[in-house]
A and B are shown apart, each in its own frame.
Chain A
């Protein structure tokens, strides 16, 4: 159990570091390409599942 918990904590820390490093190291061109690809997607399409997109609710999407 102790070993499992240590591995789980290390995995969590590694993921935290990896995600932070990814967000810091991604070049501007990738951000630009992504912005270009998502330019015509509405916020409702982005918000396909709860907090994934623009809103935590679809109030502003016209879906009542």
Chain B
């Protein structure tokens, strides 16, 4: 969708359309990161280890990038039956594995510094949905992570050259002179709204009964996002994300996280 918007802006302003497209996609992603970083910094303002926590947070970001590449590399390797430099170096990013890698790296970093990981993890997880909502707007702008074809009133068409358009064309669903994809669910916007709702719920839980115990916000975020992601994956239409035995890769990850988070919550309740 951003391609079309960039094209129209380019015609109006004379600025290169690809520059507008890439700037829009990157800016929305960066806004999400800045929101999480800024809010985490504010949340840790009273901590005597604030500087160390922020250093661990920043040092964990490259691990997130590596984690976000893992699933595409694995999928491409399985697809081709070989692992090449091109497969490792070029390709997309998956939010879920990236987020989990960042959280694991932060936990490891805290352990190395001899700090409790929960002040940092709880702060990051409390604001992660807000930042992620902006990231999903970036996805909508870029046209990736699109939804399944629909006839409902919310259906939108992505322009020529977009991932949705090309997938539909390759599947023979479009007429030769088609200028847009079939109407699809705006799954990116659904997830942006779902993340905002999750953020509101976590914010409410943070204020409830004098605040949650350490680690609770992290567990609730992982559980809440897993439920959101598992549900919304049924409305996704991009086949490139990998679907195995009726469920996508992210749904398998979400299922594992739901089970783990639920076990932690049940154990915490029985211990209380």
Which chain A residues have a beta carbon within 8 Å of chain B's beta carbons?
1, 5, 8-9, 12-13, 15-16, 19-20, 22-24, 26, 28, 30-35, 37-39, 41, 43, 46, 48-59, 63-64
Which residue of A43, A52, A59 contacts B87 across the interface (Cβ within 8 Å)? A59
> Is B221 an interface residue when CB atoms closer than 8 A count as contact?
no
> Is B119 an interface residue when CB atoms closer than 8 A count as contact?
no
Whether the pair B7, A63 counts as a contact (CB closer than 8 A) is: no
Q: Which residue of A lies closest to B134 (CB)?
A: A12
Interface of A is mostly: helix
Which residue of B8, B22, B130, B159 contacts A48 across the interface (Cβ within 8 Å)? B22
Whether the pair A20, B156 counts as a contact (CB closer than 8 A) is: yes
> Quick one: CB contact mask for B137-171 with A, threshold 8 Å, 1 for yes?
10111111100000000001111110100100000
Which residue of A1, A20, A34 contacts B4 across the interface (Cβ within 8 Å)? A34
Which chain B residues have a beta carbon within 8 Å of chain A's beta carbons?
1, 3-5, 7-8, 17-18, 21-22, 25, 28, 35, 39, 42, 72, 75-76, 79-80, 84, 86-87, 90-93, 130, 133-134, 137, 139-145, 156-161, 163, 166, 179-180, 186, 189, 192-193, 196, 199, 203, 240-241
Known: A38-B161, A51-B92, A55-B240. A20 touches B189 (CB 8 A): yes
Whether the pair B130, A9 counts as a contact (CB closer than 8 A) is: yes
Q: Which residue of A lies closest to B144 (CB)?
A: A51
Given the complex, which residues of B lie within 8 Å of A50, measured CB to CB?
91-93, 144
- Cα distance A52–B112 when bound, in Å? 37
Q: Which residue of A lies closest to B167 (CB)?
A: A54
- Cα distance A41–B17 when bound, in Å? 13
What are 23 A-B pairs at a CB distance below 8 A?
A1-B39, A8-B35, A12-B133, A16-B137, A16-B189, A19-B140, A23-B186, A26-B4, A26-B8, A32-B179, A34-B159, A34-B160, A38-B160, A41-B161, A51-B143, A51-B144, A51-B145, A52-B143, A54-B161, A55-B240, A56-B240, A59-B79, A64-B87
CB proximity of A49 to chain B, nearest CB, Å: 6
Given the complex, which residues of A lie within 8 Å of B75, measured CB to CB?
57
- Cα distance A50–B90 when bound, in Å? 7
- Cα distance A48–B16 when bound, in Å? 14
- Cα distance A59–B90 when bound, in Å? 9
Which residue of A5, A23, A39, A55 contacts B157 across the interface (Cβ within 8 Å)? A23
- Cα distance A64–B139 when bound, in Å? 25
Given the complex, which residues of A lie within 8 Å of B157, measured CB to CB?
23, 31
- Cα distance A13–B223 when bound, in Å? 23
Known: A1-B42, A37-B7. A52 touches B144 (CB 8 A): yes
Given the complex, which residues of A lie within 8 Å of B80, measured CB to CB?
59
Given the complex, which residues of A lie within 8 Å of B22, measured CB to CB?
48-49, 52
Whether the pair A64, B84 counts as a contact (CB closer than 8 A) is: yes
- Cα distance A58–B87 when bound, in Å? 8
Whether the pair A51, B163 counts as a contact (CB closer than 8 A) is: yes
Q: Which residue of B lies closest to A55 (CB)?
A: B240
Q: Which residue of B lies closest to A62 (CB)?
A: B86
Given the complex, which residues of A lie within 8 Å of B156, measured CB to CB?
20, 23-24
Known: A12-B137, A19-B189, A52-B143. A31 touches B179 (CB 8 A): yes
